């Protein structure tokens, strides 16, 4: 008997293990969720990673964060956080300034335009998440969250 994932992927042979099937199922689900998120953000000129960086900086108002702090908090790691922030500075959503005695220390802050954009997107993404996962209900969502956290602990 084939699994749902096996049928979805049109795979004829069974998975080699439950662990393999679970890993592929998580990856497939993440890809579908991210694709829908990217599609929702595209009309607003943002990628999912840029949106994530803006949300991180919104949470750090008014202090802001240095590049490495932003990089370390991103959901998906990026090879060059400087370029990520450069793009957000170029479109006026983030500003950076050298601060303190050490002039190498540069702090990034979200601009009012960045806050306005996030405010406009809050409802859009909340609705998207509800459509994607709301049907699971609170109990299943909490179980899913806990299971995924347990899986990440081993990584």
Residue 41 CB neighbour total at 10 angstroms: 19
Q: What percent of the chain has pLDDT over 90?
A: 86
Query: Distance between alpha carbon 13 and the CA centroid of its chain, in Å?
Result: 33
User: What pLDDT is stored for residue 3 in this prediction?
Assistant: 87
List, for residues 129-150, the tens digit of each pLDDT value. 999 999 999 999 999 999 999 9
Domain ranges of the chain: 29-153
Question: pLDDT (tens digit, 9 = 90+) per residue, 55-95?
Answer: 999 999 999 999 999 999 999 989 899 999 999 999 999 99
Does 103 score more than 70 pLDDT?
no
Closest to 46 (Cα-Cα) out of 13, 94, 4, 1: 94
For 29-153, CATH number? 1.10.10.10
Instruction: Give the pLDDT confidence score for residue 1 in this predicted structure.
Output: 59
Directed axis angle between helix 112-133 and helix 48-58, to 10°? 120
């Amino acid at each position: 008997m084939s699994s749902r994932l096996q049928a979805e992927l049109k795979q004829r042979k069974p998975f080699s293990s439950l662990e393999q099937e679970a890993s592929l199922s998580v990856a497939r689900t993440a890809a579908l969720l991210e694709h829908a998120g990217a599609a929702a953000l595209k009309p607003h000129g943002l990628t999912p990673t840029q949106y994530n960086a803006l949300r991180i900086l919104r949470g750090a108002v008014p202090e802001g964060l240095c590049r490495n702090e932003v990089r370390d908090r991103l959901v998906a790691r990026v090879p060059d956080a400087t370029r990520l922030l450069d793009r957000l500075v170029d479109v006026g959503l983030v500003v950076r300034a050298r601060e303190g005695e050490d002039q190498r220390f540069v702090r990034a802050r979200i601009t009012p335009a960045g806050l306005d954009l996030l405010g406009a997107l809050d409802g859009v993404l909340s609705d998207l998440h509800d459509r994607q996962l709301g049907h699971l209900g609170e109990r299943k969502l909490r179980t899913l969250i806990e299971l995924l956290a347990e899986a990440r602990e081993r990584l």
